[in-house]
Amino acid sequence: MRSRIPPATLKRLTALEQKRRRHRSVAMFPKLMPVDDWEYVAESMQGELKKNIKEDIPPQYDQKVIDCLQLVEQ
């Protein structure tokens, strides 16, 4: 047996879904930075990944490097 949903409830649900979509993050990317700064970050992270592969352990990135990356919502 099918039950009918009142139109007012559907309108409220639609409004809530629209509101939720506006504030939902789809992805986060590092903020663009000068090439010299990016070189420091990339070199540090690549070194850590290389060490990770050789020793078979999870990467432990330096907190200074992580702090350089300011994430921007898209």
Higher-pLDDT residue of 30, 49: 49
Instruction: Please say whether the beta carbons of 40 and 29 come within 8 A.
Output: no
Domain enclosing residue 63, as ranges:
25-73
Domain tally, the chain: 1
Beta bridge partners of 29: 72
Handedness of CA 37, 41, 44, 50 (dihedral sign): negative
How many residues are listed for the chain in this entry?
74
The SS3 of residue 24 is coil
Is 4 contained in some domain? no
With the C-alpha atoms ordered 62, 63, 68, 71, is the resulting torsion angle positive or negative? positive
Distance CA 72, CA 57 (A): 29
pLDDT in tens, 15-48: 888 776 665 555 666 778 888 888 888 888 898 8
* 7 in a structural domain: no
Tell me whether residue 5 is in a domain.
no
